[in-house]
Structure 1
């Protein structure tokens, strides 16, 4: 009897929430799995029906989040975010203060439109390189970088809590928030953050605690390979329109045998506006030479000049690409090692038919810390040789299956995924602007505007295909939010939300709306330290509404308090993905987040409690 009285639906709901919070805090089980288990527990205990439990997966907020991940992926893939960031950050010059302010402003501005996790991911290498160039410890900037991505709550789509509170208002019969409703709040947060973090980071984060040991890499980047093998501009040889080579394959022409040079790629005339001017093709035996082609060759200067003079060609004056000597969109570089039992040992590259066998070109050989870059065709391969190879990313990745002969270093497909499609940046910018206009003007529902933009990112080639679009979606976050949404339904259904609201109003309401607002804000802020900001917003949004109704005041300042408090969590490295993302790169310890993040979180809360009623009166 006593057990039956204790295990009421409300208490069971609170127990499930408490258990979920403990698992979220421990972090040993994935957060999305915890959310699904909580959802199942609510169904098994009869608190929610299966339809109610699965309602989160059809919620517009969840669908919008999926679309925003795809749109953000397109913006990053085209290099648009990096282009904007790099140009603005150059304005900093040698001023540490100006650099700090610009890092915060640029990060918050990008974070206002795309995922804050993605924003930090693209900004982090830029900020580190600039800090190193300015001879300033990157630790000074990386934590503020992560915090600034959360402070960029300038738009409705900046963070999931923004969309969650807007959805909650609309569900309860109030006007939904507009696209720029959060702009004044976000500007205040950013101003407070810049001022407070400037001093806190200078005091606590300026010292570099690096132990001098570099993390081991699983492979070399494209820049690493280009620099290590001292690759420079390769001559681009323009084929004359009346050349006898036109219409023949490279195998028929025997350029390598006759001139001792290698044709590594063939540039063919390309598309129109917003498309590449040329298409690079990896040179192979069956590559057909056509009118207008340009041969990218590799070899001694004398041999190159002899080839050009005898054929009546000319060498084009080319500008080295930003990413290196090749267009790495389709064609890549990698390093492989010759195995001791390989059939390639003691065979020359010509005798081994390397290009025919593996569909890649050898650009250089590293042996005993010496690099051989010319006259490779007749070079015998030795066990342990490191070969610099060039080919399509797919062909390079396929070498991973040839471990009897070669060992592929690193993960080439991951390197390929880092390459930006820069010529598509104007397209991505146009799509992003159209999406924002559609959401601001309410031409269509926000979720439809986002989904249209996501489809356009794939259809226009800003993302290569649907597989890449799916890879850009953080499914853990999607499942977490969709799984925790029913918890908010259970809170309302069992009366837990009303109980917490009544407790807040009863305990703090007598002291006025400011005290109640403080209770809602810091209640949200404390819970966000232990579970995700989205889950916290889902739980406290109905509580904020109910508290305002009980006190007969406007719910808007309370809902903004929930959204801001859920996003402004800085005292833990695990409260938001950006906080965790910079922890290793900045060599931060948990105590660093307490020293810098906790004072900022408290100051931000006090300022918001004073400012929100001024912007959105009770």
Structure 2
């Protein structure tokens, strides 16, 4: 089931839904760091309730870095809130994190009904609000800051920076094919737009059933009426108007942001001509990179200066830098075998690639089907997740390679490896011994003291091993403690699940913390200083809430 859940999350990434959440976040924040933190934690907390928390963090790290660069906020101010929200998202639903599934599996193994899909939500939502309030107060205690060289940690050249370096904004235009245009129904290679009009088509935006489809054209691409072309053309406004009139094109306004956002669908990268390359001495037109490699040259730099005049006709030299546009697959393919062009700079935006953007409605439909099946109980949760994974593949939100890469194999191996260890503890009496020790220590103080002690023991165990392994070890102890004291096992099992997700205190407690440590430039002590008080607060809220929702008797 965890494998199918990870595939569903990968489908949300490939179809661009996760990226659109990031764009929405930036727009709604309106430059306010406080509003940004609140919205970020809400979005991450809710998104992580239906997909892997590790996957959510991996999606949002480049989004947060981009936002920090734009707003001038140190990444350390947002990376810790990101990890906290992702960990708390594991308390929202049954499938949100592996420890929940471990707890569910142990209940089922012992012949007890498991929790429902939203059985965790009454605890996760209040704890998420608590986490947001706490991080608003605690964020200034974070000592993380920019790197010594003044750059944002983990940041690379962005699409916007590449556009500015090659002065592409001065030569880029948007043109729509009018009905009856001479170009409609014609193949690009037959039109020879670059040779005849110096018009270089970088991307095509075409109406589709859901929104628009944006792609990088090749020599065989047939243009259609109403296509919008993103073109590179060194021309004055008067020359542009004349070319548009002759070809039946309508000039459209273009914003700087168009150049930074269109390439998410088509790909843009910086390459350098290698010494001894076959391209040396040939012009861009003579090199025929579009037909050979599927790449369009949108800009050139020689030395430290961009080449604007006669770029297509200038003979290429070793060391020339080229800004190329094309499908990401063709950019990667150009690096195989003999490499006349060496990938010099791959913008950070590549990590937010959405190669199946037009399949977004189908990804949402697949996710909705999974949730509906889990809530209704028509099929077991494992089958519901499996059906969602099949739908993602059937709707082409995923391909098999992406589905395979989306699986976090270390988590699966860890769970499979720890289960026999847990079983051995039960059969040798280790679980009973641990439960008896817990009861003897705090049993007389009452059920709430038992819950608090169990939470603390689980959280401390999570300091040394992963939260998934912690759940594997502690769930049998929790159930045994409840049974020996004549109490319901459900509050105790829920406490273990919540405590396993409250892995705020060290960077090794969860992959989520490990991911944000580098970009946020945190030290080990930062997690302890921020995470320990939060873990205590979460324990207090959990011990108070759990018996109210899940009666002790």
Q: Same fold (TM over 0.5)?
A: yes
What pairs with 1:182-261 in structure 2 (closer than 5 Å)? 182-202=120-140, 204-205=141-142, 208=145, 210-214=147-151, 220-232=157-169, 233-236=172-175, 238=177, 241=180, 243=182, 249-261=187-199
What TM-score do the two structures reach when normalised by structure 2? 0.88
Provide the C-alpha distance between the structure 2 equivalents of 1:500 and 1:429, rounded to a whole number of angstroms. Answer: 45
What pairs with 1:194-343 in structure 2 (closer than 5 Å)? 194-202=132-140, 204-205=141-142, 208=145, 210-214=147-151, 220-232=157-169, 233-236=172-175, 238=177, 241=180, 243=182, 249-265=187-203, 271=208, 273-274=209-210, 277-278=212-213, 280=215, 282-284=217-219, 287=221, 296-301=230-235, 304-311=240-247, 313-317=248-252, 324=259, 327-328=262-263, 331-343=266-278
Match of 2:119 in 1: 181
Deviation for aligned residue 1:283: 3.6
Deviation for aligned residue 1:333: 1.9
Which of 75, 84, 87 pairs up with 1:147? Answer: 84
- Does the residue aligned with 2:322 lie in a helix, a strand or coil? strand
Decide whether aligned partners of structure 1 residues 315 and 491 sit closer, same or farther in structure 2, where only a CA change above 3 A counts. Answer: same
Provide the C-alpha distance between the structure 2 equivalents of 1:265 and 1:197, rounded to a whole number of angstroms. Answer: 42
Provide the C-alpha distance between the structure 1 equivalents of 2:525 and 2:426, rounded to a whole number of angstroms. Answer: 37
What pairs with 1:80-159 in structure 2 (closer than 5 Å)? 80-87=17-24, 90-131=27-68, 133-152=70-89, 153-159=91-97
- Does the residue aligned with 2:335 lie in a helix, a strand or coil? helix
- 1:414-468 superposed Cα distances (whole Å, 9 cap, x missing partner): 93872364433333223222221221111211111111111111221222x1111
Provide the C-alpha distance between the structure 2 equivalents of 1:75 and 1:353, rounded to a whole number of angstroms. Answer: 36
Decide whether aligned partners of structure 1 residues 349 and 512 sit closer, same or farther in structure 2, where only a CA change above 3 A counts. Answer: closer
Decide whether aligned partners of structure 1 residues 215 and 345 sit closer, same or farther in structure 2, where only a CA change above 3 A counts. Answer: farther
Provide the C-alpha distance between the structure 2 equivalents of 1:217 and 1:140, rounded to a whole number of angstroms. Answer: 15
Decide whether aligned partners of structure 1 residues 82 and 297 sit closer, same or farther in structure 2, where only a CA change above 3 A counts. Answer: closer
- Does the residue aligned with 1:376 lie in a helix, a strand or coil? coil
- 1:467-525 superposed Cα distances (whole Å, 9 cap, x missing partner): 11111111111221122122211111222112211222233323332333233222211
What pairs with 1:136-535 in structure 2 (closer than 5 Å)? 136-152=73-89, 153-202=91-140, 204-205=141-142, 208=145, 210-214=147-151, 220-232=157-169, 233-236=172-175, 238=177, 241=180, 243=182, 249-265=187-203, 271=208, 273-274=209-210, 277-278=212-213, 280=215, 282-284=217-219, 287=221, 296-301=230-235, 304-311=240-247, 313-317=248-252, 324=259, 327-328=262-263, 331-401=266-336, 403=338, 405-410=340-345, 415=350, 418-419=353-354, 421-463=356-398, 465-535=399-469
Alignment partner of 1:562 is 2:499: no
Deviation for aligned residue 1:528: 0.9
- Please list every run of 5 or more consecutive structure 2 residues that lacks an aligned counterpart in the other structure: none
- Does the residue aligned with 2:136 lie in a helix, a strand or coil? helix
Conserved 8 A contact 1:329-1:421:
no
Q: How many residues align?
A: 547
Conserved 8 A contact 1:137-1:206:
no
What TM-score do the two structures reach when normalised by structure 1? 0.80
Range with bigger deviation, 138-147 or 313-322: 313-322
- 1:79-132 superposed Cα distances (whole Å, 9 cap, x missing partner): 223334543564444554443333332221222221111222233344444455
Provide the C-alpha distance between the structure 1 equivalents of 2:153 and 2:78, rounded to a whole number of angstroms. Answer: 23
Deviation for aligned residue 1:216: 8.5
**Which entry has the higher C-alpha Rg, 1 or 2?**
1
Decide whether aligned partners of structure 1 residues 508 and 587 sit closer, same or farther in structure 2, where only a CA change above 3 A counts. Answer: same
